[in-house]
């Protein structure tokens, strides 16, 4: 047992194990092979469909059957990865060339997932059969044992087109990732042929044929000049924009209509785009949006944004480019498995690898075909020769005791034991020299083959076989002939499966959004007793001043770029940006102040509302229920936070008054027990907002302040106290911290 123990450094073992794991993920799962452009799960799924006979001209089969068979035979990594691969290969909005024909709900461009595999059906597409799987029976690629060595699977599919460039690929491995954009079918075919005609061709010259990526979603590539470097190095960033059109609505408004989206916006990012556009309106980045609707359907993308009549549509679109994913970046990293290892490749390297692979499979294909034609030629020549001496052959067959004796005579001229009609026949039979394969064909030949027309057909077939042999030998002996065959095949694929380019390639200037100059103006903040707040312009307020004053509890003159400060009985100050409040018509209800601030009407009561600009010029008087008082400089409340502590409170105390000071001369404090104390404002000291303050009035045990009154110089001030008119001016002026005067009714 001790001999089995391996002593090693833990760090070395971990490093080796992790590297093995990483390479397994890189090679066996995440990255495509440069030759067929497929990841293992895609290759295995397509091969399984080929094995099951699910051809393009045959009925669809349940996706669950395909997934189960693939998992059981070739890919034991779970059904979800196989079905996901099957779904993606059927989605023409993700793939430049869909490889699977899906029947049922296979998802959509807006991110809705495919139905469960038990509900959907699939089959191969014609292009997949013709260009990916056609020559699997001709020994053109190597096969390897599957995971449990009960089946054989191809190491690579004999793909006859540069699929890695046509369909692109995305995958994340361990420590590396691939991101290859899809391209136009016809352009890639033309570039491949150009390389075959001139192997010294440069990437710049190849780009005469390959204009750039061709995304299934269309759009516009805006950095054409950067593409050369990207295709030379295999890495870079491609900037993609959606396509936008302008339409006039019946009401004379301009509609911005998005008809094509960036490739990166496929799926849930369309919903995110709609949310981003809505947030532009909510955050006041733009006030041009009237409505937004997603009218996309099977016919294509159609997102409509309705703008105001006076909106600058061009400028608004530039805002979308700057602030949303209507303009996005596609990161290119053309990483693929080449000769068993990951490699970042240029456009030319990928085409070269594919062309080399085409020559390899063509060589194996035509070597195999030549061998079969040579066998056919051997048999045909034997049958023709046998027909010329058919009487002798029949005599040998009739005179032989068994098949072995007849075959021995046909091959080696052995005549012993065979009964012949004449010595001449025996002598001629001893001179026969058929091959083993020819002898078997003669022995199996049917009598109707002796009919004249059949013999003529055999001769014609032999001539056709000889022509094929000469052709195959020429293809195998001369590289130019093989290249011609490959290029002819590429031309036929292009003719049948090419489509028009969808993505426009151009150099486009960076979008510049000009923000409208913000006009600072006076506005009126109105809030009713139910806590609904709004902003109205001054002309609206002046026209409705009487109603505004009577219907609203708080009215604050402020700037439209300023802040509203809300002081509560809990000693908190909540700020609200005026821009966060709706600019409303006079009869609009407004919004609950709770919705736009941290203030909670269920937990605290409002004591004072003011504008921050007004506070900066004033001092504030704070009075609490326990008669603590102080004056605070308004500049202390110029803060960026939405909520701060405006004052310090003792236990069980609360703020009952916050008042900006103008020219108030005296202050009057009223307790619940009916004590009134009048004294000069000058007796109250200025403190920091974090201070408790000084006592303004001596209170009996259990008594608290109920009201605070401020008297200006020369102003008459009377109140209704328990049904009696009380003139506050007639109260005797005392010192702060006195008990006050008991007013009896």
Alpha-carbon distance values, 391 to 205, 343, 406, 417, 431 (Å):
68, 68, 14, 19, 15
45 and 154 belong to one structural domain: yes
Domain boundary residue among 593, 615, 637? 615
The residue with greater pLDDT, 582 or 220, is 220
User: Measured between alpha carbons, how far is 399 from 414 in angstroms, rounded to an integer?
Assistant: 13
| Rounded mean pLDDT, 127-148 | 92
Asked if residue 482 and residue 357 are part of one domain, the reply reads yes
The proportion of the chain whose per-residue pLDDT surpasses 90, expressed as a percent, equals 54
pLDDT confidence band for 28 (50 / 70 / 90): low
Question: Higher pLDDT residue, 563 or 29?
Answer: 563
pLDDT at 646 over 50: yes
Which of residues 158, 189, 216 is at a domain's end?
158
Identify whether residues 378 and 465 lie together within a single domain: yes
Q: What is the pLDDT of residue 696?
A: 92
Q: How far is residue 474's CA from residue 479's CA, in Å, rounded to a whole number?
A: 9
What mean pLDDT do residues 707-734 have?
Answer: 86
The strand pairing partners of 707, in sequence order, are: 670
What CATH number is associated with residue 63?
A: 3.90.199.10
pLDDT tens, residue by residue, 255-272: 899 999 999 998 878 888
Whether 636 maps to a domain, the answer reads no
Cα–Cα–Cα angle for 27, 32, 38, rounded to 5 degrees: 125
Cα Rg of the chain, angstroms: 45
Across the range 15-33, mean pLDDT stands at 68
Mean pLDDT for the stretch of residues 167-186: 87
Q: In this structure, are residues 95 and 160 in contact, taking their beta carbons and an 8 Å threshold? A: no
Q: Report yes or no on 234 lying in a domain.
A: no
The number of domains in the chain is 5
pLDDT single digits (tens) 191-228: 999 999 999 999 999 999 999 999 999 999 999 999 99
Output the pLDDT for position 220: 94
| pLDDT range class, residue 430, cuts 50, 70, 90 | confident
**Domain containing residue 372: CATH number:** 1.10.268.10
pLDDT of residue 22: 59
Give the pLDDT band of residue 359 (cuts 50, 70, 90).
very high
The number of angstroms, rounded, from the C-alpha of 240 to the middle of its chain's C-alpha atoms is: 13
Q: Which CATH number belongs to the domain containing residue 272 in this structure?
A: 3.30.1360.40
Q: Say yes or no: 610 and 661 in one domain.
A: no
385 and 481 both lie in a single domain: yes
Give pLDDT, residue 592: 92
Residue 91 phi, psi (nearest 5): -90, 105
Q: Is 119 a catalytic residue?
A: yes
Residue 122 is encoded by which pair of tokens?
A: 């699939």
Helices (H), 413-544: 423-430, 436-444, 452-477, 479-497, 538-543
Taking all residues of the chain, what is their mean pLDDT, rounded to a whole number?
89
Q: What is each CA distance from 26 to 35, 86, 608, in whole angstroms? A: 16, 20, 66
Is residue 648 within a helix (H) or strand (E), and if so which, with residue range? none
Structure tokens at 521: 């103006």
The rounded distance, in Å, linking the Cα atoms of 383 and 404 is 18
Q: What is the mean pLDDT of residues 626-655?
A: 90
Residue 92 neighbours by CB under 8 Å, 6+ apart: 98, 216
Q: What pLDDT, on a 0 to 100 scale, did the predictor assign at position 1?
A: 45
Q: Is pLDDT of 589 > 90?
A: no
Report d(CA 304, CA 244) in Å as an integer: 10
Q: Using the predicted structure, report yes or no on whether residue 707 has a pLDDT greater than 60.
A: yes
Q: Which of 18, 56, 119, 470 is catalytic?
A: 119
Q: Is residue 645 part of a domain?
A: no
Quick check: is 188 in a domain? no
Do 296 and 428 fall within a single domain?
Answer: no
Residue 40 and residue 555: Cα distance in Å, rounded?
71
659 and 717 both lie in a single domain: yes
- Higher pLDDT, residue 73 or 254: 73
Mean per-residue pLDDT, 496-503: 94
Whether 278 is covered by a domain: the verdict is yes
* Whether residue 523 sits in one domain with residue 482: no
Element (H, E) at 18: helix 10-25
- Is there a single domain that holds both residue 418 and residue 541? no
Length of the chain: 745
What CA dihedral angle connects 361, 362, 363 and 368, to 10 degrees? 90
Look at residue 672 and tell me whether its pLDDT is greater than 60.
yes
Q: Are residues 369 and 405 in the same domain?
A: yes
Q: Do residues 389 and 522 share a domain?
A: no
Whether 141 and 45 map to the same domain: the answer is yes
Confirm whether 2 is domain-assigned: no
CA distance 433 to 531: 114
Lowest mean pLDDT among 87-96, 155-164, 512-521, 685-694: 512-521
Contact residues for 417 (Cβ-Cβ < 8 A; gap 6+): 400, 401, 405
Question: How open is the CA angle 353-357-360, to the nearest 5 degrees?
Answer: 140
Q: Among residues 116, 131, 158, which one ends one of the domains?
A: 158
The mean pLDDT value for 288-301 works out to 87
Domain that holds residue 698: 652-745
The model's pLDDT over 460-475, given as tens digits with 9 standing for 90+, comes to 888 999 998 999 999 9
Answer whether residue 195 is part of any domain: no
Residue 738 within any structural domain of the chain: yes
Q: Which residues pair with 336 in a beta bridge?
A: 343
């Amino acid at each position: 047992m001790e001999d089995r123990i391996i002593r090693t450094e833990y760090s070395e073992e971990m490093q080796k194990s992790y590297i093995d794991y990483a390479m397994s993920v890189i090679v066996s799962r995440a990255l495509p092979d440069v030759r067929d452009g497929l990841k293992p799960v895609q290759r295995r799924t397509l091969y399984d469909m080929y094995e099951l006979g699910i051809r393009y001209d045959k009925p669809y089969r349940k996706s669950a059957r395909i997934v189960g068979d693939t998992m059981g035979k070739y890919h034991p990594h779970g059904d979800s990865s196989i079905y996901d691969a099957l779904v993606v290969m059927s989605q023409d909005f993700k793939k430049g060339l869909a490889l699977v024909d899906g029947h049922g709900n296979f998802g959509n461009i807006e991110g809705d997932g495919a139905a469960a595999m038990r509900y959907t059906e699939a089959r191969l597409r014609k292009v997949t059969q013709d260009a990916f799987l056609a020559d699997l029976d001709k020994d053109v690629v190597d096969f390897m044992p599957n995971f449990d060595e009960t089946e054989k699977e191809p190491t690579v599919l004999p793909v006859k087109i540069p699929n890695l460039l046509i369909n692109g690929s995305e995958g994340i491995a361990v420590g590396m990732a691939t991101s290859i954009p899809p391209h136009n079918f016809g352009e890639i075919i033309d570039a491949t042929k150009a390389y075959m005609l001139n192997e010294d061709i440069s990437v710049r010259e190849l780009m005469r044929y390959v204009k750039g990526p061709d995304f299934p979603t269309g759009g516009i590539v805006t950095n054409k000049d950067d593409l050369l470097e990207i295709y030379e190095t295999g890495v870079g960033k491609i900037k993609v924009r959606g396509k936008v059109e302008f339409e006039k609505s019946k009401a004379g408004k301009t509609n911005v209509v998005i008809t094509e989206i960036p490739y990166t916006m496929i799926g849930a990012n369309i919903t995110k785009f709609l949310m981003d556009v809505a947030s532009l309106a909510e955050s006041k980045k733009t006030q041009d949006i009237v409505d937004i609707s997603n009218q996309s359907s099977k016919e294509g993308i159609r997102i409509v944004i309705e703008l105001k009549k006076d909106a600058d549509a061009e400028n608004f679109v530039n805002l979308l480019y700057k602030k949303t994913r209507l303009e996005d970046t596609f990161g290119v990293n053309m990483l693929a498995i080449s000769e068993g290892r990951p490699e970042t490749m240029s456009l030319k390297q990928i085409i070269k690898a594919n062309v080399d692979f085409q020559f390899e499979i063509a060589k194996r294909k035509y070597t195999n075909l030549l061998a079969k034609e040579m066998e056919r030629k051997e048999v045909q020549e034997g049958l023709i020769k046998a027909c010329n001496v058919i009487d002798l052959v029949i005599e040998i067959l009739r005179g032989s005791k068994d098949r072995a004796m007849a075959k021995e005579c046909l091959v080696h001229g052995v005549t012993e034991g065979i009964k012949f009609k004449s010595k001449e026949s025996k002598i001629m039979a001893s001179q026969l020299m058929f091959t083993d394969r020819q002898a078997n064909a003669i022995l199996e030949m049917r009598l109707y083959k002796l009919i004249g027309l059949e013999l003529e057909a055999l001769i014609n077939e032999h001539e056709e076989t000889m022509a094929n042999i000469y052709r195959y030998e020429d293809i195998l002996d001369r590289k130019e002939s093989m290249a011609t065959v490959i290029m002819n095949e590429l031309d036929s694929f292009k003719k049948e499966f090419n489509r028009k380019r969808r993505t426009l390639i151009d150099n486009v200037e960076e979008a510049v959004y000009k923000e409208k100059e913000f006009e600072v103006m006076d506005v009126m903040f109105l809030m009713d007793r139910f806590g609904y707040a709004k902003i109205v312009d001054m002309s609206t307020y002046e026209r409705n001043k009487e109603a505004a004053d009577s219907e609203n509890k708080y009215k604050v003159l402020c700037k439209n770029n300023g802040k509203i400060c809300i002081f509560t009985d809990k000693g908190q100050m909540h700020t609200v940006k005026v821009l966060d409040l709706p600019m409303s018509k006079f009869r609009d209800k407004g919004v609950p102040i709770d919705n736009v601030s941290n203030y909670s009407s269920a937990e605290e009561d409002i004591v004072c509302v003011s504008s921050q600009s007004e506070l900066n010029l004033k001092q504030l008087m704070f009075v609490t229920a326990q008669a603590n008082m102080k004056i605070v400089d308004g500049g202390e409340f110029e803060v960026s936070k939405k909520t701060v502590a405006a004052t310090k409170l003792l236990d069980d105390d609360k703020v009952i008054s916050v008042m900006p000071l103008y020219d108030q001369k005296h202050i009057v404090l009223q307790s619940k027990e009916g004590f009134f104390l009048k004294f000069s404002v000058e007796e109250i000291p200025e403190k920091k907002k974090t201070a408790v303050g000084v006592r303004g009035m001596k209170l009996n045990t259990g008594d608290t302040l109920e009201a605070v009154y401020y008297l200006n110089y020369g102003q008459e001030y009377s109140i209704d106290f328990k049904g009696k008119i009380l003139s506050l001016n007639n109260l005797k002026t005392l010192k702060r911290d006195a008990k006050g005067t008991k007013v009896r009714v």
